[in-house]
Amino acid sequence: MPVENKHFRTIWEEKGGRIFILDQTRLPFHEVTKELKTLDDACRAIADMEVRGAGLIGVTAGYGMYIAGREAAERMTATDTFAFNRYINEAGGKLRSTRPTAVNLAYAVDRQLLAISCCERVEDKVAALHQVAKDIHEADTDCCKRIGENGLTIIKMALANKGGKEPLNIMTHCNAGALAFSAYGSATAPIYAADAEGIDVHVWVSETRPRNQGGLTAWEMRKYRIPHTVIADNEAGHLMQHGMVDLIIVGTDRTTRTGDVANKIGTYLKAVAAKDNGVPFFVALPSTTFDWNLRDGMDIPIEQRNPGEVRYVTGMTKDEWSVDTVCLYDEKSPCANYAFDVTPARLVTGLITERGVCDANEEAILRLFPERRIEK
């Protein structure tokens, strides 16, 4: 495995509890860092996708709650715990509303609310918020590392199935890489593990309209010198039909206890094509991305984002080498922008988690996570 994000950091803390992020809206053309000084800064960073990806959204939400705790402590007396708790609860609501599909966000908020419920003094509550934020950050890194180790077995099996002939061609969608977490990524963690063992891999990077998160994956692959090729989203089926894809690994923003997977829009179509062409389709996720309260993927709330993300595209101009935004469609033509779709468990070959690999069904999932069984 590579050193944790040796070429970049997604979120980090500096002296005095100052929290910084890598602004991913400026990638792949510019590497710009931002400080999250206020709760509103944290909410805006998540909503505007300056930070994105299931794990990183959760980590940012954890730090956002800590920042809110500092704000609350500055605005009220040290003994007014009722007002402090009310402020933090409202902060949690603001953070939850930024990206409703991402379950890691709600998980981080809930952990922080539980942490302050065990403290009596305001200063202790702030300290608890800080510690839990750091714990969430550390756990995210550890989970992704173990996902990589467990996913490596899948890559070795796929390589064996093609007679050991390298390179192994892996397709991914969106960016479930190190940029989407605090380190390693979920879908990319097995790729990094394979590369570290000397396995020759090539990654098909789906551009992932309309936000083009494939550009982030390509940027990441280039940083780690992993051979890769960017493709238009609609090329995926053609590549599978012609035997050019050996394995697909994607991430997820929310997965039900029965194995239905919500991921970036376009994932479902790749899963359908994979099923038709006999290409293994795996989903990599930390356990915090399971929604243990949901059984049916159709009940997952699907975020609808600004239609302008479809109407406009941002890129580097050919002549002036400056970043510009242009309109693609007539203003009178309506645009829709569903951010996620749901892939039914029946189309998923398996789930790669920090505890191991399992089939995408409730019984198999619960064998890995027996504490989540519901007593009848």
Beta-bridge mates of residue 18: 14
Closest CA to 206 of 183, 231, 243: 231
The CA distance from 214 to 225, in Å, is 16
Residue 222: phi and psi, rounded to 5, are -65, -40
- Using the CB atoms, write b or e for 148-159: b if 16+ within 10 Å: bebbbebbbebb
Structure tokens at 361: 């069904």
Q: Which of 140, 195, 246, 253 is catalytic?
A: 253
Residues 279/240, Cβ–Cβ less than 8 Å: yes
Tell me the H-state helices in 76-213: 81-96, 103-117, 122-161, 189-196
**Spatial contact of 221 and 205, defined as CB atoms under 8 Å apart:** yes
User: How wide is the angle at C-alpha 12 spanned by C-alphas 191 and 85, nearest 5°?
Assistant: 120
- Active site annotation includes 48: no
Q: Which residues are catalytic?
A: 253
